[in-house]
Amino acid sequence: MIADYILRQENVVGYIDFHSYSQLWMSPFGADCSKIPKDDEDIMEAGMGAAKALKDVHGKKFAVGRVCKIIYQASGGSLDWTYAEGGVKYSYAVELRDTGLHGFLLPEDEILPSSEETFAGVLHLANFIRMREKQWGYRV
């Protein structure tokens, strides 16, 4: 199980749970809307940068925010667990293309562009985490 794997590791610093659809880059928390991550500012900065990187590839805009603010209260999301229990600071749920026109049946000609922009967002996040590691002089 992913939970067991994360708990056995010493330094898991990023986690992304990919879904479709809606074009959203979401951070904790979803189950309890009164909770705000202690690292919210940093988590949001990384998420905003990832969404910009996504948009820069094919022009698709991804909204960024905490699950409770951007969609609705939603319990059972793995990002809440990875952040709160697994200690994974940069935990996200990403809703890929599109915004609802095709729903869960993304046309074949949109699969490659979706993967290209998603890769750009993930790469931005990895570089952001690495920059923080160097900036603060410790492993995130």
Tokens linked to 23: 């074009």
**Catalytic residue (one of 10, 45, 85, 95):** 95
Q: How far apart are CA 23 and CA 66, in angstroms?
A: 14
DSSP H helices, 24-110, are: 40-58, 67-70, 78-84
The rounded distance, in Å, linking the Cα atoms of 128 and 46 is: 6
**133 included as an active-site residue:** no
So which residues are the catalytic ones?
95
